[in-house]
Structure 1
Amino acid sequence: MSLIVLVALGLPALLILAAAGFWLLLRSRNMQIWLRSYLARPARPQVPGPVHILFCFVDHFEPMWGRADLETQRRRVDRWCQDYRALAGRHRDADGRHPQHGFFYPEEEYVAEHLDKIASLCADGFGEIEIHLHHDNDNAENFCATMRRFCNTLHERHGALARDPRTGELAFAFIHGNWSLDNSRADGRWCGINNELILLRELGCYADFTLPSAPSDTQTRTVNAIYYATDDPCKPKSHDRGEPVRVGGRAVGDLMIVQGPLALNWRQRRFGLVPRIENADIRRSCPPTPERVDAWVQTGIHVEGRPEWVFVKIHTHGTQEGDMDTLLGPQMDAMHDYLEKAYNDGERYVLHYVTAREVYNIVKAAEAGKQGDPAQWRDFILPPPGHRRGSTST
């Protein structure tokens, strides 16, 4: 119905303009992609016993960010190895474990001395190394060769990555640079491969941890879910939808997608009208406040049929100087204090700090019908990588 007709029928022009403006604001943040799915998603079922919070922190860890010189890179890595050890060492979950940091290291930024230092930190029980990749206008042959080479280097030189006992092959979690998994940008940049999910599966990737990516147009319609995506090798963004992981189900498709919380923050609105996007990103401009922690938990991401196991996956870009005071300072310290106070009373909530690998194992345990304390399934399928086996930390 045209604007003229609507006005003629008595609908105030101001209301029409407001609606049009609201729609334009939504589109400016690409919210039209996922808002309907978000609003239609059913609430997490209530559970009688304690809710187990599986808290996973993944980091697009890029020492060369901003084309930094080697000395700047070293300062960034050294600060993480020193300050994170001190920060995380002050905190423990219900199992007595420190917070676990997922260092998703970019292949194209490989420097052996940086990874030696991070591997040492991980060996002391503070996290695990996984794979990050930025690429553009790539092809399948080059992508596979690059990934195989990097997997072997991480494992052989730095003791990273688990070996799948079922296949004997190296296994890894993945985060795509610039959010562009499976060529998902509308302009086709920062990937170039429409069958990337298939290739990742064949290379040993057990799950992708890229999402959420809002407000980028790479964000999927599926939100707040753990699901299997099936690749259409002729089309991009095959992970836009998928089959939820469920208790009693089985692996289908090509790749498990583990999403972090995506929500609307009505307390902070643009122009007093459009809510801000809560996308589980931690940095100076969006610190980890108690209100945000509550929002992550309330999102209730879980395996269907196991609502008492709630997965909270947050992310950051940890080597940017403007954000490191937040990530390694009092605000992050306070976040862990709040988690351990509000979500670890042993009656309503039980807190577990987990790595990406452990998330995958616990998801697969839920799928297999395992119950009780999820911490017992941290190594359900994939064992710890080599740099963790010698650790004396619990």
Structure 2
Amino acid sequence: MLIKEYRIPMPMSVEEYRIAQLYMIQKKSREESCGEGSGVEILENKPYTDGPGGTGQYTHKVYHIGMHIPSWFRSILPKAALRVEEESWNAYPYTRTRYTCPFVEKFSIDIETYYKPDTGNQADVFNMSATEKRQRSIDPIDIVTDPIAAHEYKVEEDPRLYKSTKTQRGPLRDDWIEEYNNNPGKTPIMCAYKLCKVEFRYWGMQSKIERFIHDVGLRKVMVRAHRQAWCWQDEWYGLTMEDIRQLELETQLALARKMAQFCQAEEAIEANGGATSPDKEQEAKEAISSIEAEEVVVGSGDTLQPRGVLTKQWSTSSRSSRSSKRGVSPSRHSLSEWRMQSIARDSDDSSDEEFFDAHGKQQLLVLFSHLSAPVRTCHPSLTLHAL
């Protein structure tokens, strides 16, 4: 398990941040949903009285990621492999969020957050044990100076340039935190303390994938999301919690309609015989042929070069090669095992720079779906919104 504590100061009050966060979540859910293969499904959104943090609001969501992976690969995976589930307990100013993929039982992301009226200088807001403190590393985030990918940059979301019409706050200077410390109380301030625990318990891949999830799936997403929370303040400033709950309800209904429309389209296709276009069929054939060819190369001579315990555990390429030579298409089981071998091999051979060469949340979701098929054969669970 890799544990990091992110500290994200924001130039607003704790209560303002609560509105900003909830507004941002419902807005991004609407913008990023377009049907079952790509979007957010809200299963539950209700108050609770006895849970993490005491009394708060519980939400259960499903992120559908099928449209973010190739159609040929999607066709050989069960639906359970194409969804990531989120459970969230919001007892503001404390929240907890947990992510799982039903098809990857040894994977989880657990995020605890405290929101405090300071610049991130408290030593231990989570009251961690001595063991957890030794495992934890602290990673401060600055929404002004932290870099953002060029393809994600938007002028209207740059804190160095943005000035609010409603509050007259901004633009922010690079030394805005130091400026506040020199003039405490002049402007509102708060910090999101986020204790993020990432666990991916599979031999040969654990450390790299846990680092990948932290660097790409969490840190990069949090930098961009908090820049948006600041630069969207003219949209959320002045809203009440009643306004937010109404927006959440409208969002939940809108997402449900999108999902229903998608399901109706799927049923119509099935009613017409489920015919696929020649282009799609050709795409699938070429993809399978490519996999067969690569399996033959990997298992040339019906043997696999030894790579330790992992290679021994997943040594099935020779069988796949013989099937390919006989003209038999590989089964889902052999494809899955081939994929696990490839991931383990890449994990050994590639550098960290190559491994981390990805962009944002969609790449993280794609990673989940690519891992889910081989993981099931081993041992049979953004957008991230824990912001």
TM tier relative to shorter chain: under 0.3
Q: Report which of the two structures shows the higher radius of gyration computed on alpha carbons.
A: 2
